[in-house]
Structure 1
């Protein structure tokens, strides 16, 4: 299988979080955990109730452990205490992967205890690569970018985003706007991989940054009443709606 290049949509070693602070909020979801081959065999042969919850999706082993993860305790995750490797699903969080023909696009998912450079753990590109490869090697299905998006458009977007990270985004973090407000900009490049944006020629998206900033500014007061992990959904919805309005205005003109 051809190795794909990895493109990150956020800054290196800048986003931080502390799992001990939130006590595993991300573990309270419908947990279908991708597990490695070693752990799958160990669970299947354990003759415990766990063995009934291992299944196969294609070549991928999945453990279904309920709404609240069975391995979450008052002390945190205890899965390693049972001799089972940490599931690649959990290791990958708070990142998500979008696959294109040539690239793996790695974006940040909003974590409840998201910080900027002020917590115990930071997300580093170098550390993330091995985790991404581990997840890929499980054979778990990935989200795919629409095949209608050309290679040229994808390459243009990657170039735009790399330039953006090294210039515009860094300058933004030096501005005087509030730190909590600035946090929202780490979502921007990930949202740009939405089909609605990728279907538009790159030259027509260059002013989307200004639209995004306006959306975040207008929603800033709302952020005070929402969990961090929910904010991204509102920002994305409002941003894409504004883009649609923007495109309509251009057609009218």
Structure 2
């Protein structure tokens, strides 16, 4: 009975051993005492249920991003990689269910030990998505937040965060490659730090077509810096005063 309830709780964050408070339907509270379940098993069930609740939080975040039509490319790439992590978790649950059917003598401790990595990983992922949501990070800002999470001493957590960071880096590399190879800005959601400037002074450029546009960046170009202008002026003056060879 306890194994069955635990497997349900690991995927749904709730089981038949949990009851709902009347004033808060989203808060789940375990029954204080159950005659046929040992108190130690109830505490393990609490920890397993917490893993299931984290899974539901991550899954709901993924579904919300997919439904939101304004989600950027970076967060979509992040969510696709996050979904693959949850798929591996579900495969682990399927394997545990198969083991429980074969060997009915397994205990809740076996489930908890088998899911030790997720007891560390899921809380960190929930904290990460809460940070992304609360601050409304977009584009390369997401890369910086995930990069900080990779600086962790836990190898499981660090490797998973690097996996998510690599997925987001694919979008950045594709955008940079599109500009360098084709001169096109691949930025449907206005997340890239380089954009198109359509308000170019075509008369100053000596062009007759008014629909000319160019790529601009928030970083000032070195070729238009005052120091470089003074350097070019000095070179012209030196050429003028240099004596001609006879």
For this structure pair, what is the TM-score category when the shorter chain's length is used for normalisation?
Answer: under 0.3
**Structure of higher CA gyration radius:** 2
TM-score (norm 1): 0.25
Higher relative contact order (CA 8 A, sep 6+): 1
Higher strand share goes to which structure? 1
Report the structure, 1 or 2, having the larger helix content: 2
